[in-house]
Structure 1
Amino acid sequence: MSVPLTKVDSAIAGLSIQDEKPPAATEKEVTGSKKEKTHKRTSSTSEGVWNIKDLEEQKIEITLPIETQRTGWKLNTSPSTVEDKEILKMQLVNPPVKKIDLHFPLGLEVTARNLKGVTIKDALDAIHKRFKKKADDELEKPYLAGFEWDKEECWTRLIVHQTVNSTIPKEPSSKKSKKKNKEEA
């Protein structure tokens, strides 16, 4: 007899019938290893970028580049209005951190974040987001004077200093003034 067994026949004969197709392999079986859940953004962090709390625990002091004091930037204008665009690419603090709080003297606090290290542009963007809807006459001190880190007060934040006038002297922009300056030189 060359007739294949049926379910009824196999039950009687004590045999089991297996499906023609093998079961589909699972992803774990294909890769040969268990897939562990990890945080989504681990690949976007950069090497050498610290968490500010880790710096505090290890008592690693941070430094600020002097360029943060020379932006001449108005708080309610876009950070792209800064004259020297190269300043914006610089790290806000050294060693670079993922996020840092920026504290204003009257109690306002904003946070600048960047997983590859907070840059001066990231800090200016965070400040601008808070002040962009303010009119010029609403701000007592509309210009950024710079940042200060005071480890005695708080290790994990920077103090933002403001001023009434821009820290960058304005050069004359009219053509007549430029010609006059060239003639004097």
Structure 2
Amino acid sequence: MSADTSDLTKVDSAIAGVDSTAAKDGAKETKRRTTSSAPGVMNINDLEKEGTKIAVAPDTQKTGWKLNTSPSTIEDSSILKKPLTTPPVKKIDLHFPLGLEVTARNLKGVTIKDALDAIHKQFKKKADDEMEEPYLKGFEWDPEESWTRLKVHTQKEGLPAGGKKSKKKGGDE
């Protein structure tokens, strides 16, 4: 029995011997969430402070995507993996002309798919005749208006006649 109690006092003394404030200060020196975001991915607010310009991926203008359909219906699905902006950002607000705003987020850098998913979430329950301009035309970054968000441009028609249309919908087009 005496061996058991001596083990306990050793453990207790080890705990009591640790300076709890020193342990806490050490933890504060390292940032907690660095592992969840990829290197090179920026916070949009930091870019604004530094005055870093943002470029929007031009591929967003070639989708012919209808806002109330799943982004997976885009014919060239390889563009979905591309970053929406250069440099990549963790989150960005997408602002529609009529005032609706959605936020696309991805700690590894917002991709075109992330942006389309955020938009689709807002429009998936809308019928075609409820939307005046149901097709995505593209995104525009206008630092004069707002550094931290992109304007979403929509249009009445899908891709021009020369473009490819998705065949997944059936013969209703």
Shorter-normalised TM-score: what interval? 0.7 to 0.9
Q: Distance in 1 between matches of 2:123 and 2:101?
A: 12
Q: Which region of structure 1 is more displaced relative to structure 2, 39-48 or 116-125?
A: 39-48
CA-CA distance at 1:42 after TM superposition: 2.8
- Can you give the 5+ residue segments of structure 1 that lack an aligned partner in the other structure? 1-17, 174-185
Shift of 1:34: 2.6
What is the one-letter code of the residue matched to 2:132? E
1:146 to 130, 138, 141: 138
Shift in alpha-carbon separation, 1:141–1:65, aligned structure 2, 3 A:
same
Kept in 1: contact 2:159–2:165 (CA 8 A)? no
Which residue of the other structure, out of 11, 34, 44, is the alignment partner of 2:23? Answer: 34
Determine if contact 2:75/2:165 at 8 Å carries over to the other structure: no
Contact 2:73 2:166 (8 Å CA) reproduced: no
- Percent identical residues: 62
Q: CA RMSD in A?
A: 2.4
1:20 aligns with 2:6: yes
Please identify the structure whose Cα radius of gyration is greater: 1
Map Cα deviations across residues 13-71 of structure 1 (whole Å, 9 max, x no partner): xxxxx933343354x96xxx836267653311111111101111111001112101111
In the TM superposition, residue 171 of structure 1 has moved relative to its aligned partner by 5.8
- How many angstroms does 1:172 deviate by? 9.9
Moved over 3 A (4+): 37-41, 170-173
Report the TM-score, using the length of structure 1 for normalisation.
0.75
- 2:56 match: secondary structure: coil
For 1:121 and 1:161, the matched residues in 2 are separated by 16
1:114 to 95, 103, 106: 106
Separation of aligned partners in 2, 1:108 and 1:131: 11
Q: What CA distance in whole angstroms lies between the structure 2 residues aligned with 1:172 and 1:88?
A: 15
2:68 to 76, 97, 113: 76
Q: Which has the higher helix share?
A: 2
Higher RCO structure, 1 or 2 (CA under 8 Å, sep 6+): 2
The SS at the match of 1:20 is helix
Letter in 2 for 1:126: A
The alpha-carbon distance between structure 1 residues 114 and 171, as it changes in their structure 2 partners (threshold 3 A), is closer
Q: TM (normalized to structure 2)?
A: 0.80
Between the aligned partners of 1:124 and 1:112, the Cα distance in structure 2 is 8
